[in-house]
Structure 1
């Protein structure tokens, strides 16, 4: 039996529909808030909701909200947006990356995890199995004490390195995955350390067909992508619209190269829209509508010029692959 876990219901994977695989909807990361980085605070649910409605207007049906506990989630606000828009939202249990952990834990979490001052202090003090138990509860009972459950588990590592605490959270997330059968997502900083993450997950006996690796387009290396794809993991190209990192031509060619090599069934697409300046209704950015309204038509055109069925590839990247990737398989 396979199903998808949205915040408030388990649904057949066939009902998932057109899906963005990595976004952020409402979040106030303590690390950025404490440093006065207002652009990185998505702190107005009404504005976030308008962008979600734009996504829906163009045919969008589901969003994976990849905001972990250490990135300042507002779970009730995101659930309200889900209810008000009718767009399904998948929540995330687990952790992000170590540099974010030098930030204060919000008071509401302390009854759940203990009276720790920072995320670093908590993760350093807890055992792997204690961290795993926290992640399991967020999948099976609810995120941060709410009744809204996570539909994936997440860990992250830094640029060109994996710190001891990052390895600790990776192993905790792997063990939570074994207990819950939740799909696993990883943050890779600038697309690095994916193969090293994979080796650690193998040491925890994780079936890599449950794994999606984020930010693959930040490391535009076709050979590297092929090595990852050979493991059976999903590659998430989730920087669409971020021209400061690379033009869309680069991303599209990387994707088509994987298709040529036979890996069309392992590609996910999204925008990782985590700044006010990326959102249309916060700061006049491209918004959540950009991929579905503008990037998709361009990709279809370029794919067909290259001899592929563009519509079929879009269906795979946004419908079939997410339905398979984000399914609990029991």
Structure 2
């Protein structure tokens, strides 16, 4: 519904989807505004203050519905620009925008998503399985262009949690994106603590997203990974999300699972201060477009 100070996001679900439709998941579209509102209200009822919707261009993000859903639920929503893997995106969309990605991303961040007036608050792109293909390199190059023009964060889908270091080499090395403008998603799907630590040491934010049946994430691995990062001094770079991607996963366990199960469980393991950082302090820095004082 417009720009807000990042420190007013409150408890944040740092990666989820209210709306999404992709050829990869036929019949499992998230396309019901009333269901999205109910899910967001359930999250808000447990203290949730904001949800980052990582649904990018061409995947049924329904940007025109986001303001009234957000207002009805009383929960902030961050919209996304960007482009997912080619196989997730309708071929006609890829063909139409592939030569103007940088301009498209920048325009949706600054001018708004066409026909809606809703501005995106982040860029979402995707890597490949254990590497980067031509499509990934093209979208990340465009994302870097838009990031430099705006200060927006870049959220990266890591396929099955892999390829984090390749992504950082491209975005932060060759393309010179500040590492604290990069959010690496799905790291829980590849519980390689060595890679997690190296990505944290590089300065990126690490998103562990998907404690839902749709992604078969195992909560005990999630806890072990977060404990290891905290013990290594990287608690300040952890983000948590639900990543509900199918209609079957909505409400089962859905967004409330983060606050009903994951949050209290982590508080027992790591203490309330660290977990407040995961849900409040870290997202406020990760999603802030400001260029100064993000490390404080």
Structure 1 pair 15/228, CA: closer, same or farther in 2 (3 Å)?
A: same
1:23, distance to aligned residue in structure 2 (A): 0.5
1:298, distance to aligned residue in structure 2 (A): 1.7
For structure 2, the residue ranges without an aligned partner over 5 or more in a row are 292-296
Higher CA-based Rg: 1
- CA deviation profile, 1:215-247 (whole Å, cap 9, x unmatched): 000001111111111100011000123486342
1:316, distance to aligned residue in structure 2 (A): 0.2
The residue correspondences of 1:53-64 to structure 2 (distance < 5 A) are 53-64=41-52
1:209, distance to aligned residue in structure 2 (A): 0.9
The equivalent residue for 1:298 is 265
TM-score, length-normalised on structure 1? Answer: 0.84
1:143, distance to aligned residue in structure 2 (A): 1.5
- CA deviation profile, 1:143-202 (whole Å, cap 9, x unmatched): 133211011112112212311122011000000000011111111100111111111112
1:273 to 236, 244, 266: 244
1:47, distance to aligned residue in structure 2 (A): 1.2
1:122, distance to aligned residue in structure 2 (A): 2.9
Structure 1 pair 244/50, CA: closer, same or farther in 2 (3 Å)?
A: closer
Q: Tell me, yes or no, if structure 1 residue 19 matches structure 2 residue 12.
A: yes
Moved more, 54-63 or 66-75: 66-75
- RMSD over aligned CA atoms reads 1.5
The equivalent residue for 2:31 is 43
For structure 1, the residue ranges without an aligned partner over 5 or more in a row are 1-7, 105-117
The residue correspondences of 1:160-309 to structure 2 (distance < 5 A) are 160-201=130-171, 202-242=173-213, 245-280=216-251, 285-301=252-268, 303=269, 308=270
Q: How many residues align?
A: 290
Structure 1 pair 143/243, CA: closer, same or farther in 2 (3 Å)?
A: closer
Q: Tell me, yes or no, if structure 1 residue 68 matches structure 2 residue 42.
A: no
The equivalent residue for 2:78 is 90
TM-score, length-normalised on structure 2? Answer: 0.94
3-state SS, counterpart of residue 268 of structure 1: strand
